[in-house]
Amino acid sequence: MSTLVTMTLDEVERTPLTAEEIQTIRKASEKAAAGNVTYDPDCPKQTKEELAQFEPWYEAHPDWYKPKKTDIHIKIDTDVLEWYKAQGKGYQTKMNAVLRKYAFGLK
How many residues are given for the chain?
Answer: 107
Residue 4 lies in a domain: no
User: What is the number of structural domains in the chain?
Assistant: 1
Q: Which domain holds residue 35?
A: 9-104
C-alpha closest to that of 97 among 72, 52, 67, 64 = 67
Provide the pLDDT confidence category of residue 83 given band limits of 50, 70 and 90: very high
Residue 1 lies in a domain: no
Look up the pTM and report it: 0.41
Residue 2 lies in a domain: no
Interval 29-50: pLDDT, tens: 888 888 777 777 777 888 899 9
Residue 40 lies in a domain: yes
Residue 3 lies in a domain: no
* Residue 107 · residue 101 · CB < 8 Å: yes
